[in-house]
C-alpha cells in the first residue's frame, strides 16, 4: 500500500485496527485521508490447505500478530500512542473470534493511554476507502464486493450509507473461490481465476446471468457456481465431479465464469445508479482488485455518463487504513464508543 497520500496534511491522528477475518492490520491516518503507515499481515498461506478461512486458525493467528502489527504501524508512521487522538477498530461484521482480538487490543490501548475509541463498520469502511484517494461527487452508488459481502449502497456523503440491495445467497468472492477449487487453482481463488482467464475465451461458454426483478437491486451467484459444476460434469448433474487434474480448457472456463460474474456486478450497479439518477459509482472490496471488473465497469459507466471510481488495489482488500480513515471522520463528528462496545458477527 502507498505509504501516504498528499490529500490531507493536517488533522486528527488515528490508529486503525482491523481483524474481521483473516488479515491482521493496523494503520495510522491523519485527517481521515493521509496514510502515514499501513501494515497488513495475511494468513492466506495458513488457510490455503483448507480452501477457505478456518475461524479457529484465524483467531489464534490474530492473537499472535496483533501486537507486532500495531507496533510496526506506529513505528513506520513515526508516532507513539501518546501522539494519537483516537483509536478506530472494526467491530462488525466478521468472524466473532477474529473481531474480538482487534477490539480487545483497541480497548486495552485506549484505556491505558486515555484515548477515545471509535467502532467502525467494516463494509462502510470499504465504501469509504474510495474517497481517501479521490475527490468524490456525492451522492454515489457504492458496490462493496468481496469474499463475504456483495451489496449496493446509496452514499449521501462519505459516512452516510443506505442499503439498496445485496446478494440473495453467495458473495461474489466466495463464488470465485469455489470455482477456483473446482478447477484445482490455488487459494485465494479470485486472483487465480483472473490469471487463468487471461489465456481463455470469455465467450467460450454461455454461463447464466442472474437478473434482479423490479426496482430492487440484488445479486445471486449460487446458480452461476452450480452451472460451472454441471459444465464440468458434462451436463449430467448425477455424474461424478471430475478431479481438477482431469478438467480440460481451464482458461476458457475461468474466463467465461469471470465474464458472467463481472457482467452481473456491473449491470446491477449501473442500473441502480440510473434508477436513482446518480452519476457517481464507487467500487470497493477485495473483488474490486479484479482487472476485468475495473475495465468493464469503467467502460459501461462512461457510456452512460457515470464516473466509476475504484480505490488502489491495496485499499480494496482488507486493511486498517480505511478503518482509521472512516474512524477519523466519525471522531470528528463527535462519535465516541464506551467500554461496553462489543463485536457483532453481522
Contact between 208 and 202 under an 8 Å Cβ cutoff? The reply is no
Mean pLDDT, rounded, for 30-37: 96
Average pLDDT along the chain: 94
Q: Look at residue 91 and tell me whether its pLDDT is greater than 70.
A: yes
pLDDT of residue 213: 86
Q: Look at residue 1 and tell me whether its pLDDT is greater than 70.
A: no
Q: Look at residue 2 and tell me whether its pLDDT is greater than 90.
A: no
Position of cell 456491473? 266
Mean pLDDT, rounded, for 70-93: 97
Could you list the beta-strand ranges (E) of the chain. Answer: 13-18, 23-30, 34-42, 86-92, 116-121, 140-145, 150-157, 160-167, 217-219, 280-284, 307-309
Q: How much is the pTM?
A: 0.92
Nearest 5°: the CA angle 122, 127, 15 is: 55
Q: pLDDT by residue (tens digit) across 211-246?
A: 998 778 999 999 999 999 999 999 998 899 999 999
In order of start, what are the domains of the chain with their CATH numbers? Answer: 13-127+316-332 (3.30.420.40), 138-311 (3.30.420.40)
3-state SS of the chain: helix, strand, coil percent to 5? 45, 20, 35
* CA distance readout (Å), 301 to 34, 152, 246, 279, 341: 28, 15, 39, 9, 40
pLDDT of residue 197: 98
Amino acid at each position: 500500500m502507498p505509504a501516504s497520500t498528499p490529500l490531507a496534511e493536517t488533522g486528527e491522528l488515528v490508529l486503525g485496527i482491523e481483524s474481521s477475518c483473516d488479515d491482521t492490520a493496523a494503520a495510522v491516518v491523519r485527517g481521515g485521508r493521509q496514510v502515514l503507515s499501513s501494515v497488513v499481515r495475511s494468513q492466506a498461506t495458513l488457510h490455503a490447505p483448507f480452501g477457505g478461512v478456518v475461524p479457529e486458525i484465524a483467531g489464534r493467528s490474530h492473537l499472535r500478530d496483533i501486537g507486532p502489527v500495531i507496533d510496526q504501524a506506529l513505528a513506520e508512521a513515526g508516532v507513539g500512542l501518546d501522539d494519537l487522538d483516537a483509536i478506530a477498530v472494526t467491530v462488525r461484521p466478521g468472524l466473532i473470534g477474529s473481531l474480538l482480538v482487534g477490539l480487545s487490543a483497541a480497548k486495552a490501548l485506549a484505556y491505558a493511554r486515555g484515548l477515545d475509541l471509535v467502532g467502525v463498520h467494516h463494509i462502510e469502511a470499504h465504501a469509504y476507502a474510495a474517497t481517501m484517494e479521490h475527490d468524490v461527487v456525492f451522492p454515489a452508488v457504492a458496490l462493496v464486493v468481496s469474499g463475504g459481502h456483495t451489496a449496493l449502497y446509496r452514499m449521501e456523503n462519505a459516512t452516510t450509507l443506505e442499503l439498496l440491495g445485496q446478494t440473495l445467497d453467495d458473495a461474489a468472492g466466495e463464488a470465485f473461490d469455489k470455482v477456483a477449487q473446482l478447477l484445482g487453482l490455488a487459494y485465494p481463488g479470485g486472483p487465480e481465476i483472473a490469471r487463468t482467464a487471461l489465456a481463455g475465451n470469455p465467450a467460450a461458454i454461455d454461463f447464466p446471468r442472474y437478473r434482479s426483478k423490479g426496482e430492487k437491486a440484488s445479486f445471486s451467484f449460487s446458480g452461476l457456481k452450480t452451472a460451472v459444476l454441471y459444465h464440468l460434469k458434462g451436463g449430467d448433474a448425477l455424474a461424478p465431479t471430475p478431479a481438477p487434474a482431469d478438467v480440460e480448457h481451464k482458461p476458457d472456463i475461468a474466463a467465461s465464469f469471470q465474464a458472467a460474474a463481472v457482467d452481473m456486478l456491473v449491470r446491477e450497479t449501473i442500473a441502480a445508479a440510473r434508477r436513482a439518477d446518480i452519476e457517481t459509482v464507487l467500487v470497493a472490496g477485495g473483488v474490486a482488485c479484479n482487472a476485468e471488473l475495473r475495465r468493464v465497469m469503467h467502460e459501461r459507466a462512461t457510456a452512460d455518463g457515470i464516473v466509476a471510481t475504484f480505490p488502489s488495489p491495496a485499499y480494496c482488500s482488507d486493511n486498517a487504513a480505511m478503518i482509521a480513515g472512516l474512524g477519523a471522520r466519525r471522531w470528528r463528528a463527535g462519535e465516541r464508543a464506551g467500554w461496553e462496545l462489543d463485536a457483532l458477527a453481522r
